[in-house]
Amino acid sequence: MNLEPLPAFNDNYIWMLHDGVQALVVDPGDAAPVLHALQARNLQLAAILVSHHHSDHCGGIAELKVQTGAQVYGTGGEDIVGIDHPLLGGERLQILGLEVQVLAVPGHTRAHVAFWLPLHEVAGADPVLFCGDTLFSGGCGRLFEGTPAQMYQSLQMLATLPDATRICCAHEYTLSNLRFCEAVEPDNAALKDYLQHCLGLRQSGTPTLPSTLAREKTINPYLRCQQATVRAAAQAYDPAVRTALDVFAALRRWKNEFA
């Protein structure tokens, strides 16, 4: 199985997973980069997975369906044209001969879903999570339609997946997120190392993704709301912070106003 991020727009990635013959793509906001990649690799598009209704994630669905006949699996709780298999979370699908578990992760949007592939069918492969705009490397999605409690719970649920899970986010936001992470945890050594690593990758035009859940647990403050350092930083920003959920909500507000 090959996993590739196809760059789209300014900073989107359309993730493609393929076995050399058939492919699936996730959140195709634009059909052109997908069609180009399919042609260049001589692949057939079997399935399209859609996490939420924003146009930079679903703008390419109609054309891809016409051009390839691919089946579309996506959230059933949002207004998206072209979905063949509406999903609510909790489903187990079989796509390209692989198990795909659907997870309800509301917060960024009302009915956002994520897709976790254990990849136990592929010897030696680590699991993959396609999380749309829920979890980013060093960050999390903005709360456009959901509450802090919903997003916090969604992230807590993702954090229970195996540590080796490859985190496939839909945007290259890593460097700007890590600047915020540094403000929250200036003494986090793993964070400093990871920032240097990512600066090198971006200088050579290489994606910083996928990340791994293990890494995110060491550097991503939204997954570290119980840590004393993160809690102290959140309390310095908002003295009313008490619970881990308060920490999360304060971090999210702080990030919104962070330069």
Query: Given the rule CB under 5 A, which residues bind Zn ion?
Result: 54, 133
Cβ proximity of 84 and 72 under 8 Å = yes
Identify the active-site residue in 18, 53, 112, 171.
Answer: 171
Q: How far is the CB of 81 from Zn ion (least distance, A)?
A: 17
Cβ-contact 134, 98 below 8 angstroms: no
Closest approach of Cβ 129 to Zn ion, in Å? 16
Closest CA to 73 of 97, 101, 110, 54: 101
CB of 75 to Zn ion, least distance (A): 12
Given the residues 18, 27, 30, 52, select the one marked as catalytic.
52
Residue with the closest Cβ to Zn ion? 54
Residue 95: CA count within 13 A, CB half-sphere: 27
Closer of 54 and 231 to Zn ion (Cβ) = 54
36 is catalytic: no
Catalytic residue selected from 27, 30, 133, 246: 133
Residue 54 is a catalytic residue? yes
Cα–Cα distance measured from residue 210 to residue 207, given in angstroms and rounded to the nearest whole number? 8
**Of 108 and 224, CB closest to Zn ion:** 108
Q: Is 69 left (phi over 0), alpha (psi -120 to 50) or beta?
A: left
Is the Cβ of residue 85 or residue 110 nearer to Zn ion in the bound state?
110
Q: Nearer to Zn ion by C-beta: 50 or 198?
A: 50
The active-site residue out of 108, 120, 187, 246 is 108
**120 part of the active site:** no
Q: Between 78 and 246, whose beta carbon lies closer to Zn ion? A: 78
Q: How far is the CB of 221 from Zn ion (least distance, A)?
A: 20
Is 163 annotated in the active site? no
85 assigned to active site: no
Residues with a known catalytic role:
52, 54, 56-57, 108, 133, 171
